[in-house]
């Protein structure tokens, strides 16, 4: 389940990467529907650019690789901050959608990535 406009892919972005295990693996289709409802809402509100969800195939994975991988594209760190600020003000329906999805998750690991190499080369920037 992925959505979004391919033309948007030409701009730089950040990738919010989530590795997820469910409390009840038998509820994977319900989880997929809940993720689609939640992230679809965020995309519709233009809080995120695009997203996709993948599932491990044949149980093939090593180490910390989880059953589900969710990737959420965000235009910039400023856009990510705006998204978090908007989420802090969720209405009842948004809260219900989030809790429905989040309630199915047993564990999650997250990371924030960017295309590399990038023009800013942030590894060279430091305050100290």
User: In which band, very low, low, confident or very high, does the pLDDT at 9 lie, cut at 50, 70 and 90?
Assistant: very low
Q: Can you tell me the distance from the alpha carbon of 27 to that of 49, in angstroms, rounded to the nearest whole number?
A: 27
Please indicate, yes or no, whether the overall pTM of this predicted structure exceeds 0.85.
no
- Please tell me whether residue 64 adopts helix, strand or coil conformation: coil
Would residue 8 count as lying in a domain?
Answer: no
Task: Check if the beta carbon of residue 21 is closer than 8 Å to that of residue 106.
Answer: yes
- Identify the CATH number of the domain in which residue 61 sits: 3.30.70
- Higher per-residue pLDDT: 128 or 69: 69
- Straight-line distance from the first to the last Cα atom of the chain, in angstroms, rounded to the nearest whole number: 43
Would residue 9 count as lying in a domain?
Answer: no
DSSP secondary structure of 16-37? EEEEEEES-GGGHHHHHHHHHH
Would residue 7 count as lying in a domain?
Answer: no
Pull the structure tokens for residue 21: 């295990």
User: Total structural domains in the chain?
Assistant: 1
Task: Check if the beta carbon of residue 55 is closer than 8 Å to that of residue 28.
Answer: yes
Q: Each residue of 13-42: pLDDT tens digit?
A: 899 999 999 999 999 999 999 999 999 999
Pairing of strands 50-55, 68-74: antiparallel
Other CB atoms within 10 A of residue 65 CB: 11
Range of the domain at 105: 23-112
């Amino acid at each position: 389940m992925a959505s979004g406009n391919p033309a948007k892919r030409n701009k730089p972005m950040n990738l919010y990467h989530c590795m997820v295990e469910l409390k009840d693996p038998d509820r994977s289709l319900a989880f997929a529907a809940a993720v689609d409802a939640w992230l679809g809402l965020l995309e519709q509100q233009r809080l995120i650019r695009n997203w996709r969800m993948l599932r491990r195939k044949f149980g093939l994975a090593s180490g910390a690789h989880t059953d589900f991988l969710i990737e959420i594209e965000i235009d910039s760190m400023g856009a990510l901050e705006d998204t978090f600020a908007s989420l802090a003000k969720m209405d009842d329906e948004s809260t219900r959608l989030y809790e429905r999805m989040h309630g199915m998750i047993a564990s999650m690991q997250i990371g924030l990535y960017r295309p590399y190499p990038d023009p800013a080369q942030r590894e060279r920037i430091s305050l100290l």
